[in-house]
A = this chain, B = another copy of it.
Amino acid sequence: MLIVLDGLGGLPLVPGGPTELEAANTPNLDQLARESVTGVHHPMEIGVTPGSGPGHLALFGYDPVADSIGRGALSAIGLGIELGDHDLAVRLNFCTLDGNGNVTDRRAGRISTELNQQLIAKLNGIHAPDVSLELAAERRHRAVLVLRGEGLDARVRETDPQAIGVPPLAPDALHPAAEHTSRILTGFAHQVGTSIGNEQPANFVLMRGYGQYRVLPSLESLYQLRAACLAVYPMYRGVARAVGMKILPVTEEPNNQMEELEKAWDAFDFFFVHIKETDTLGEDGDFDGKKRAIEAVDRWLPRVRDLKPDVLVVTGDHSTPAKLRAHSWHPVPLLLWGSLARSDHVEAFNESACLSGGLGHIPARSILPLMLAHGQRLAKYGA
């Protein structure tokens, strides 16, 4: 069982202070750390900050660069949209522009999913020459656009300026083969402005994460794992589906993930449980909120342990320090519990304690092999 607290790693708000995880009251995680082998992981190359797609691919044992899939495609398949080999998916973020066309909020105040759905209904009237468009609301301010047609190419500039007070970028072609796609997206953006430009707070979209869908070898084909995903957000369901996990239905209701886990327990070999709030609150700069989200997971742990997993890993896919209000490159604490874990002297689950753990400082890609090893699912190499 793999529990991912999205954006778990943090930073102190003041020099010498605690991180979010260090500030949180986590008696169950600390007890688990005492019984576990711990460490920290680097999601990608040292110093590189991952998006959520590559961060999760690494946790699932894939190469986050060579096996990369655009975020738009992950969101689309997470929403159950079927993607053909040549379809192009784009992640949309509803945003707020001021009267001068400058971005004032890259997430439009994280509008409700209901408002998102209403806006998508308005945008559904947009057409483009030579391609068919499919739009779908994801959650809060996130949505997906799928383009279907000939000659689509992902090498187009993302329009999110990653800053406020400046206008969105143009979806320029970054390669001559992408001129056609660039023209379609330019026209789409123009029509979005015409259609919802007078709405508030969401009056435009930023386009990112262009990608075609690649079928990766499944966890079942690689490791004979029947794997299941318990995630609320479509993007995480998408990346889980891309590696062949069964997507179990879960709702936002606080205990629903736990209840569905208990129900499905006997039917699978591997469970991926995704907690989104830690990342969202980190991105909002809400140190105390992120701390409380960690504490909520801690309170859950006794029920997880009652299920008696063979191997239990708790970690994050990357750091999202509230201080930075963004993903970061800092290493992520990690614990691995199991009857064959060679436990270390670490007495608490947090960034500094795990630095001296028995797993050392490892790439995220090594976590799944370690889980399989501790579950005695890997054969000896060589005679």
Contacts and interface: CB of A to CB of B under 8 A. Distances in A.
Interface residues of A, number: 63
Contacts of A315: none
A94 to B, nearest CB: 15
Interface string A360-377: 111000100110110000
A172 to B, nearest CB: 17
A213 B89 CA distance: 46
A342 B321 CA distance: 10
Interface in A41-86: 44-55, 64-65, 68, 70-72
Contacts of A19: 342
Contact of A71 (B45, B55, B355, B382): B382
Contact of A356 (B72, B158, B356): B356
A71 B366 CA distance: 27
Given A329-B373, A369-B47, A383 B91 contact: yes
A358 B53 CA distance: 26
A370 B53 contact: no
Interface in A1-38: 11-12, 15-16, 19, 35
A352 interface: yes
Contact of A369 (B12, B45, B358): B45
A284 interface: no
A54 B381 CA distance: 8
Contacts of A35: 15
A373 to B, nearest CB: 4
Contacts of A51: 380-383
A165 to B, nearest CB: 17
A130 to B, nearest CB: 26
A330 interface: yes
Contacts of A345: 352
Given A358-B355, A380-B49, A324 B340 contact: yes
Given A355-B344, A358-B355, A366 B45 contact: yes
Nearest to A43: B381
29 contacts: A12-B343, A15-B343, A44-B381, A46-B370, A47-B366, A47-B370, A48-B373, A49-B373, A49-B380, A49-B381, A50-B380, A50-B382, A51-B380, A54-B381, A55-B382, A64-B382, A70-B383, A208-B383, A326-B380, A328-B340, A328-B373, A329-B373, A331-B358, A342-B351, A344-B352, A352-B358, A355-B356, A355-B358, A361-B361
Interface of A: 11-12, 15-16, 19, 35, 40, 44-55, 64-65, 68, 70-72, 91, 158, 162, 208-209, 323-324, 326-331, 340, 342-345, 351-352, 355-358, 360-362, 366, 369-370, 372-373, 378-383
